[in-house]
Amino acid sequence: QVQLKESGPGLVQPSETLSLTCTVSGFSLTSYSVSWVRQPSGKGPEWMGRMWYDGDTAYNSALKSRLSISRDTSKNQVFLKMNSLQTDDTGTYYCTRDAFGSSGFDYWGQGVMVTVSS
């Protein structure tokens, strides 16, 4: 069955870099795109960026200067790196499978809570 699981540190220091891994199973990264979506506590989701099935990437314009998404298809993993973290980057970070290219997030990981604090 389709599964996605995020992993990474729960606590990051301000100004440091966040590194998260999304490990997928039950589908191929060369057939489906994977997005990263984050959600501050008590607020709505924010789409961050996407690894397209063909290896291309797309980023939220507000985060583009700080964000990088890559993948390792042999390990079924998608990676997120975001630098210069600040306290308002605190929240739950999800990876999702995009069922229809750039929409239809039909499967979500459990999410990983990231706190930016010294």
Give the C-alpha separation, 115 to 12, whole Å: 6
Encode burial over 26-60: b for 16+ CB neighbours within 10 A, e otherwise: ebebeebbbbbbbeeeeeeeebbbbbbbeeeebbe
> Smallest gap, in angstroms, from Cβ of residue 44 to other proteins?
5
- Interacting positions 22-81 with other proteins (CB under 8 A): 35, 37, 44-47, 50, 58, 60-62
> Do 68 and 75 form a contact (C-beta atoms < 8 A)?
no
Of 105, 112, 114, 116, the one binding other proteins (CB under 8 A) is 105
Of 110, 113, 115, 117, the one binding other proteins (CB under 8 A) is 110
Options 18-26, 64-72, 77-85, 106-114: segment touching other proteins (CB under 8 A)? 106-114
**Exposure of 20 in the CB half-sphere (CA atoms within 13 A):** 30
> Do 22 and 5 form a contact (C-beta atoms < 8 A)?
yes
Closer to other proteins at the Cβ: 16 or 68? 68
> Smallest gap, in angstroms, from Cβ of residue 113 to other proteins?
11
Residues that bind other proteins (CB under 8 A): 35, 37, 44-47, 50, 58, 60-62, 94, 99-100, 102-106, 108-111
